[in-house]
Amino acid sequence: MPDRPRYAQRLLARLTKARRTTRKPGLLTRAAAIVAVPAALILVAGAGAAVAGLGGGTAGPSPFPGHRIGPAFAGRGAPRARGAAVTSGAAVAAADRAARQNAARNRDGWPPQSAPGINWALSGQASADSAQSGGPASNAIDGDAGTDWCPNAWEGTLTIDLGQQRSLNGIGITLDAAAPSADATIQLASSPGQWTTLPSATNLALDAGNPMYLPLPWHTTARYAQINVKSGTGAPVCIGEFRLFGPDPAASQMALGGDLSFTPQELAAGAQFTDRGRPGNPIEITRDHGANWVRMRLWVNPPAGYSDLATDLALARAVHAAGMKIYLDIMYSDFWADPQHQIIPAAWQGQDLSQLAQTVQSYTQQVISAFAQQGTPVDMVSIGNEIRNGILWPIGQVDPTANTGWDNLATLLKAGVAGAQAGNPRGHKLLIMMHYDQGGNNQLSQAFYQNLENLGVPFDVIGLSYYPFFHGTISQMKANVDALATQFGKPIVIAETQYAWTLANGNEQPGYSTGDFVWQPSQISAGYPASPGGQLSFVGDELSILAQVPNGLGMGLFYWAPDWIPGVPWEPGAGIGSPNVNLTLFDFQGTALPSIGIFQNPAQVCASYDPWNVPCVIGG
């Protein structure tokens, strides 16, 4: 997380059962909309040099059916005209307009609803005909495209055993960014050695460094998959990740969503959001691409226009009208709260621990009750935001290094939990989350939650922030969530995550003081380019990791501020922008990127942007 609140922190989490509507595809609208997609975002992998078919085995039954801030600079592209400073009333009005639009919207069905595509290779076993030291076959199916399998020679064959017959609907491949030009042939089998070549993956040209996808025919089933790669230069071809996507009933019940706290401000400031040429607001656009929750933050008394109770209640009405669940992140501060800042609200200053606990309980009860009274009860609440170092400093501050301050923090957290439970309507399920920020560090995460359990703090959900540019590799995140599930036996949510779609700074006026959270190549994770395709593969790998957490305890993921495009600053004032504009799921002008499909099957998302050509790559 950033080390100053002014650079705008990320926030929360999500969870619970999915709520989806079945829609009929509007094919004419879909075809027309595809024409409007920026051509620069679509790269089609062409035909490669011919390669021989795979050796070994015989033809069998076909499996196919018939933190620092980077430098600020002027935005790329034409700046959008925006209105005056947004007031709280304007934000509330904008949220209410969104609610009416969501309730009244009669869509023709595009895009069709779909569950996430889960990479079943992650739970399989890999073998290869050769492997370099440090590049074993298992690296190709570990969920991290930054770790490679590298054969010893110019040609190599990787074989995956899924352990059982699986329904498959797509394949994904990421080569090492330094890989030479290469061809591949992919085969599937239901029984050992009974290989059938994938029709669209013979002599396939591979795109080094960019995630590439191939949809599979409906009802494809297989237990085994094999990819043979051949170099065009004589150098070995290293594969970062070989993905085998398929449906997973458990994954379809994940809590999936985004933190849309900025949506009312963006709409009030005049932002125009579109999805393949169709106007909409971020609530309905994310819903139409598989989101079933919305996370919103709450400050006690923020600057005008930012997330106060009135604004959140209006946003909740829009979320409820869209048929989605509500995750509320209560910050217990007047403005940004994070591991570096947890300032007691001005109106609460001067209270001792006992008084402050009473205030926290009363305030939390009033807030939860206010949502319930308007018919939009909260489904999950986090008591504080990224509370690694406590809340309500200095009274609730902890020092993890010295292991002090935990008793006061526990008192305040218990008060918040009691207030939330008291304000929750009878018969409504409210999940309580404790939100920690070090999603890639098991040692720190385990110590934090163990302290809470030792002191009897009641909670239902472990919430983690995981930003790879702050918190380590995706392999470290996987190790953490797997260990936490075993250690504590509680559902786990990636409460905040993001990835860059460009390294350009979209703040629209020269001289703006705000740089981006991510602005240089060294902050980009190996195997995941700074592109919409990089976003799609990164979050897709996160979801597959969560879907295969031990004991089914991976419960969901929230993308932070997918809608925070240029025009709404992190704090009020002239010459101030947003540090987040290249981490969104919309471009600088509000057009949904292909990565808006992060909660869908990546292979199908890619094909939907270029339905006439496969395989495809979503470039930048």
Active site residues: 386, 496
* Integer Cα distance of 246 and 121 in angstroms: 10
* Integer Cα distance of 270 and 482 in angstroms: 43
* Integer Cα distance of 597 and 606 in angstroms: 9
* Integer Cα distance of 313 and 260 in angstroms: 13
Number of residues in the chain? 620
SS3 of residue 486 by DSSP: helix
Element (H, E) at 367: helix 353-373
Element (H, E) at 104: helix 88-104
SS3 of residue 380 by DSSP: strand
Query: For the chain, how many helices (H) and strands (E)?
Result: 12, 21
SS3 of residue 382 by DSSP: strand
State the CB neighbour count (10 A cutoff) for residue 138: 15
Phi-psi region of 577 (alpha: psi -120 to 50; beta: other; left: phi over 0): beta
Residue 411 is encoded by which pair of tokens? 């008192």
Residue 354 near residue 322, CB atoms below 8 Å: no
Residue 15 near residue 494, CB atoms below 8 Å: no
User: Parallel, antiparallel, or unpaired for β 239-246 and 118-119?
Assistant: antiparallel
Nearest to 474 by CA among 404, 426, 539: 539
Torsion angle of alpha carbons 79, 81, 84, 85, nearest 10°? -40
Residue 395 is encoded by which pair of tokens? 């009274």
* Integer Cα distance of 273 and 94 in angstroms: 13
Residue 533 is encoded by which pair of tokens? 């395709």
Tell me the residue type at 548.
Q
* Integer Cα distance of 565 and 266 in angstroms: 8
Beta bridge partners of 205: 183
* Integer Cα distance of 607 and 605 in angstroms: 5
Nearest to 599 by CA among 380, 316, 287: 287
Residue with tokens 């779609």: 501
Phi-psi region of 384 (alpha: psi -120 to 50; beta: other; left: phi over 0): left
